Amino acid sequence: MSAITLPETTLSMPTVSDIRADFPILDIEIHGHPLAYLDSTASSQKPLRVIEAMDKYYRQTHANVHRGVHTLSEEATAAYENARLRISRFINAASPKELIFTRNATESLNLVAYSWGRANLGPGDEVLITEMEHHSNIVPWQIICEQTGATLQFVPITPKGELDDEALDTLLSERTKLFAFTAMSNVLGTINPVKQLVERAHAVGAITVVDGAQSVPHLATDVQDLDIDFLAFSAHKMLGPTGIGALYGKRSLLQAMPPFMGGGDMIREVKMEGSRWNDLPYKFEAGTPAIAEAIGFGAAVDYLEDIGMDWVSSYEHEITDYAWNRLHEVEGLRVLGPGPDRRGGILSFVLGDVHPHDVAAILDMEGIAVRAGHHCAQPIHDHYCISATSRASFYIYNTKEEVDRLVPALSKAKALFEF
């Protein structure tokens, strides 16, 4: 399978050309132009290693897991559980039993809300979130608070797109039972100080739920060092397949929580009078899982580890800093959020009075893929009194040359609409 290999005699890091060669989709053209894919925040592209790992499973190993004693079932089970082990090590979980496979980060957050929330929240309790959350880390808490009688509070953001620290001091109290926040905003790119936020929440007795959908693919994540209680993330944003994500949870919390869904594999014993639940992590994995996707997820983690997460974050900071400066050359363009030293590889912007969908359509004609809309984060856009933004996002396979293509294309959009 394709991988980044370096001569044993060199200590140099992989080049972007090495990396791009592993992504077949980057060779295509859009409207006669080479593809410049600047939409990895929505979903990243996949290296050959991931594609081939899933293809090999379907060609040589496919069978259901955990249920058979025949050779294919045992091989599939071993591959599936080995992927869990590698992913748990990637975030430095204490045990693979603390890693639950879900459909995506959204399902991971809902799992915590419905299972932990229903069992632990009630009238007088408060759930604290932030104004910069993705809808996946807002709506489940709204639903659970309505069902349990708990109160939902939120930390506002400053004009610079950072959390209001003084407001957080006021809002965190002994009534706060849970603090859910994003590690990196999918609109503003803001990187939040996760370790400090966790410490502040724990100081008042609250548990923490961290949305790592944008951070885990780009920043080294050590859940034990950060002391996170729950962490949600998705494979498809970190070079893996769609349809699978993960929930990390501290073992003591997961053991005390009731199941999220009922069905096969999550049970130890079923009688007509009642059932007993399976051990972790299977208690939360009802039914046949996404086996091929888990294997692809494991291959994606291997790929990132081969490159090195320090290299990933360093390179992304370099290209984001470059893009930040180049975009500010476009007259009438405004980038939301903090400066490049406080953000990940996400630049959401407005271009005068041009609608973001029009911006995206014009860029597409130039072979440049960006996102347009509210990015499932309407409260952030409400904060800035706008309905939508255009968003360019960067990953390990993007280049400064692609940024250089973006800037004149934006100027072209400006000229076409003559705002």
CB 361 within 8 A of CB 31: no
CB 330 within 8 A of CB 407: yes
| Cα–Cα nearest to 358, from 389, 404, 326, 327 | 389
For the chain, the distance separating the N- and C-terminal CA atoms, rounded to the nearest angstrom, is 50
DSSP state of 98: G
- Per DSSP, the residues of 348-385 read EEEETTB-HHHHHHHHHHTTEE-EEE-TT-HHHHHHTT
The dihedral through the CA atoms of 396, 297, 221, 189 has a sign that is: positive
Q: What count of other Cβ atoms lies within 10 Å of the Cβ of residue 148? A: 17
CB 142 within 8 A of CB 152: yes
Polymer length in residues for the chain? 419
| Cα–Cα nearest to 106, from 8, 295, 243 | 243
Q: Is 385 a catalytic residue?
A: no
Element (H, E) at 53: helix 48-56
CB 239 within 8 A of CB 45: yes
Strands (DSSP E) contained in 6-79 are: 29-30, 33-34, 36-37
Q: What are the phi and psi torsion angles at 248 (to 5°)?
A: -90, 140
376, 378, 404, 412: which one is catalytic?
A: 376
DSSP state of 411: H
How far apart CA 396 and CA 220 sit, in angstroms, is: 14
User: What's the token pair of residue 314?
Assistant: 């360093």
Is 401 strand, coil or helix? helix
DSSP state of 39: B
Angle between helices 291-307 and 71-90 (to 10 degrees): 40
Contacts of 176 (CB under 8 A, 6+ apart): 126, 127, 128, 153, 201, 204, 205, 206
Catalogue the active-site residues: 376
